Structure 1
Amino acid sequence: MSHAIKHLLIGGLIIMAVPTATTANENDLKLTIVNPKTLYDPSPNGYSTAVIIPAGARVAYISGQGGQDSKGGLSPDFAVQVKQAYANLGAALERIGARPDQVAKLTVFVVDHDMSKLGVLTERVTDMFGTALPAQTLVPVPKLAVDAMQFEVEAVVVLK
């Protein structure tokens, strides 16, 4: 393909390759997490202020993963849906050959968000990402695509 930017759509994933003049080695593709000392420390809430993607990396966008099990069922329990959604995200990462430490950005959507849900969210994100917390935005919403859905997470991933 002679285009400057190539896109590949695979079952809800978009993989974008931007050609560069040089080839980066494995060590050059590590994400840089930035939490400025002059800002509030977001890590206790399960995210980082900014994440820098290295030059020469390919980027994949993982569509929103809800709390559906393999048969499409949804638990009525928020915590169960969040746990399943992160398991679904993990499966998508594995399928594209990525690990959690390659996730640069998460966007989470929470139906009827309130502070009681924040503890569940923080626990799940730290279970998956440890201290390599991606940048993250939480968007409270009145409703998601399926009536019973209470949570959805999408990701931007750096591929090596």
Structure 2
Amino acid sequence: MRDDQQSRRPPRSGRVRLQRSAGLDYENVFQLRTYIVDHSMDKLAALGRVIAKYWPERPPVQTLLGVASLALPEMSFEVDAVAVRR
């Protein structure tokens, strides 16, 4: 799967469901840690488009790390989000 196609898919993780069951949503996210395999400007642009979609006005604080690999070979991105109840 191409990176731009992967970036348009909704998150597969159960964390978003867990957040919502706790009364939290995307506006409660204050920090993102993003891990990218074989970091490139194209992947950075794809990530920027997704972040702008979910946080168009004020994105959370972000840390971006290039990594050699992730848990599964087909994974290109992994995002760790921290949310708080305000």
Deviation per CA, 1:9-67, whole angstroms, max 9, x where unpaired?
xxxxxxxxxxxxxxxxxxxxxxxxxxxxxxxxxxxxxxxxxxxxxxxxxxxxxxxxxxx
Match of 1:99 in 2: 25
Structure 2 runs not aligned, ≥5 long: none
Q: Does 1:131 align with 2:37?
A: no
- Distance (whole Å) between structure 1 residues aligned to residue 22 and residue 32 of structure 2: 17
TM-score by length of 2: 0.83
Q: Which runs of 4+ in 1 moved over 4 A?
A: 85-90
- Distance (whole Å) between structure 2 residues aligned to residue 122 and residue 148 of structure 1: 20
% identical aligned pairs: 29
- Which residues in structure 2 correspond to 1:30-69 (within 5 Å)? none
C-alpha displacement at 1:92, in angstroms?
A: 4.2
Distance 1:137 1:149, change over 3 A: same
Match 1:151 to one of 77, 80, 85:
77
Structure 1 runs not aligned, ≥5 long: 1-75
- Distance (whole Å) between structure 2 residues aligned to residue 92 and residue 83 of structure 1: 21
Q: Which has the higher helix share?
A: 2
Distance 1:157 1:151, change over 3 A: same
Q: State the SS of the aligned residue for 1:109.
A: strand
Match of 2:2 in 1: 77
Distance 1:156 1:98, change over 3 A: same
Larger radius of gyration: 1
- Which residues in structure 2 correspond to 1:112-123 (within 5 Å)? 112-123=38-49
